[in-house]
Chains A and B, each alone.
Chain A
Amino acid sequence: GESVGLHLPTLSVQEGDNSIINCAYSNSASDYFIWYKQESGKGPQFIIDIRSNMDKRQGQRVTVLLNKTVKHLSLQIAATQPGDSAVYFCAETYTGRRALTFGSGTRLQVQP
């Protein structure tokens, strides 16, 4: 069956460093991927998305990389700030399907 999973449950970084959060997916039909940030007690907040016709997409301080060959997705956060501390989820879906399949999440802890 399809699944989306994360390699590291917790990532601790120093303020100002770059963070890389990884995600693996198993459904080769997946063609749309999203990263969400979830702060404690709040709903998932959209960060950035990428379609399968792209390898890389940049936003403000964030970059998503997609490697379809190995079914791997990563989120890079530049100059990590204390406000970036949260749980980050990758999610995926495919054309014709509306539902997102979420990964299990990585907790990012930013040390001052």
Chain B
Amino acid sequence: EPEVTQTPSHQVTQMGQEVILRCVPISNHLYFYWYRQILGQKVEFLVSFYNNEISEKSEIFDDQFSVERPDGSNFTLKIRSTKLEDSAMYFCASSADRERNTIYFGEGSWLTVV
């Protein structure tokens, strides 16, 4: 069964450092997303991406965050200057199209900012 894959599974970084989280969405999907989940809390939407541009973003997705699809398969989330409160599990997700908009999630990248 096709799946969303994410790397790294766990990253520890120092406050102020830049982090890039990588994702390979399901191959025929057109919509890509990043969500995050702070430990013990619910999953929160960050951003959606379609046709090489951001289609929607939440208040969490401020100027320190950016997304990119550098090639035909990868989708990345960059956090420019990490803060302690950025520590969370970051999930990449993808969906096929407007009609079949079931969103499938990856296993997540656990980010720890120290």
Q: How far is the CA of A102 from the CA of B45 in the complex (A)?
A: 8
A57 to chain B, nearest CB (A): 13
A10 to chain B, nearest CB (A): 13
The answer on a CB contact under 8 Å between A98 and B91 is no
A77 to chain B, nearest CB (A): 19
Give how many A-B residue pairs fall within 8 Å (CB-CB).
52
Q: Which of A41, A42, A49, A89 lies in contact with B43, CB distance below 8 A?
A: A89
The answer on a CB contact under 8 Å between B42 and A104 is yes
Q: How far is the CA of A89 from the CA of B103 in the complex (A)?
A: 13
Contact-residue bracket for chain A: 20 to 34
Q: Which of B45, B103, B108 lies in contact with A34, CB distance below 8 A?
A: B103
Number of interface residues of B (CB under 8 A): 24
Q: A32-B101, A98-B56 are in contact. Are A43 and B33 (CB under 8 A)?
A: no
The answer on a CB contact under 8 Å between B56 and A45 is no
The answer on a CB contact under 8 Å between B45 and A101 is yes
B58 to chain A, nearest CB (A): 7
Q: Which of B55, B106, B107 lies in contact with A98, CB distance below 8 A?
A: B55
Q: Is A44 an interface residue when CB atoms closer than 8 A count as contact?
A: yes
A interface footprint on B36-66 (CB within 8 Å = 1, 0 otherwise): 0000011111001010000110100000000
B interface footprint on A93-112 (CB within 8 Å = 1, 0 otherwise): 00001111111110000000
Q: A44-B91, A100-B35, A102-B45 are in contact. List 9 more A-B contacts (CB 8 A).
A: A36-B105, A43-B91, A46-B105, A98-B55, A98-B56, A98-B95, A99-B45, A100-B103, A103-B42
